[in-house]
Amino acid sequence: MYFTFTKKQLTPTALITVVGIVCCLIMSGSGLYSTFYAKANRQLPIYYVKTDQKKIAISFDCAWGVDYTQTLLDVMQEKGIKCTFFTVEFWSKKYPEYLKKISEYGHEIGTHSATHPHMSKLSKQSIINELTTSSKAISEVTGITPTLFRPPYGEYNDLVITTAKELGLYVIQWDVDSLDWKDLSSSQIKERVIKRVKNGSIVLFHNQGLHTAQALPSIIDELKEEGYTFVTIGELIYKDNFYMSADGGQVKNS
């Protein structure tokens, strides 16, 4: 595609228009246009919190077992930190003693759905069912009603976000992925996390990560040395008077 202009046509206004058209064409061809405007217009979960304070939140997704859960609880007890566990309903019902123990140790519990489905493929009523029954399974054991929801596989769409909000749930993602589910070594997990953490980060682990419990003590120690404090996600996020940046950062209104 070519454009021809005379000198008289290239006024400042015309030049700005031409530059704008060219930029749009470049962005459209590269996919940047759709990425930018999709992020600007769609509903977003909370990936991290924009804050000047050196606070971060550790989280664990619980779906498939409990082999290392007690060790994780012992590590965090020893290090004096609290974190957030997201539990699937079938996990909560299979291991109620661990669900209760997590709560008794002072950690926060959010729902990770009822059946670990691809939430973005569900109808509104199915989403409601997933969130209400999984929350009920948690409250029946702990006496606490969850206020946080993490979509399985990190998948969501506008319907998932808005439905969760209607049910009083904050939708939580992460900005630091340990990739512990890939059975990375403890040193690899540590390297990934330490390099990526920033103020307001939410770190993703799994309670069944093969080397997560091994990696966690040194991760906590090093981040403490860097001046970070550890809080639950519920303590980290803003509950009201906020907006979402295009990259999923939760920003407090000034």
Q: 77-118, pLDDT tens digit by residue? A: 999 999 999 999 999 999 999 999 999 999 999 999 999 999
CB neighbours of residue 183 within 10 Å: 12
pTM for the whole structure: 0.84
Q: Which ranges of the chain have pLDDT less than 70?
A: 1-40
Round the average pLDDT of the chain to a whole number and report it.
88
- In angstroms, the first-to-last Cα distance of the chain is 46
Q: Are 117 and 130 in contact (CB under 8 A)?
A: yes
What's residue 229's pLDDT?
98
Residue 251 bridge partners (DSSP): 243
What's residue 93's pLDDT?
98
Domains of the chain: 12-41 (no CATH), 48-252 (3.20.20.370)
The phi, psi pair for 103, rounded to 5°, reads -65, -45
Catalytic residues: 61, 206
Sign (positive or negative) of CA dihedral 57, 100, 97, 147: negative
| Separation CA 43–CA 194 (nearest Å) | 29
What's residue 110's pLDDT?
98
CA nearest neighbour of 73 among 49, 46, 109: 109
What's residue 27's pLDDT?
37
CA nearest neighbour of 112 among 82, 144, 140, 134: 134
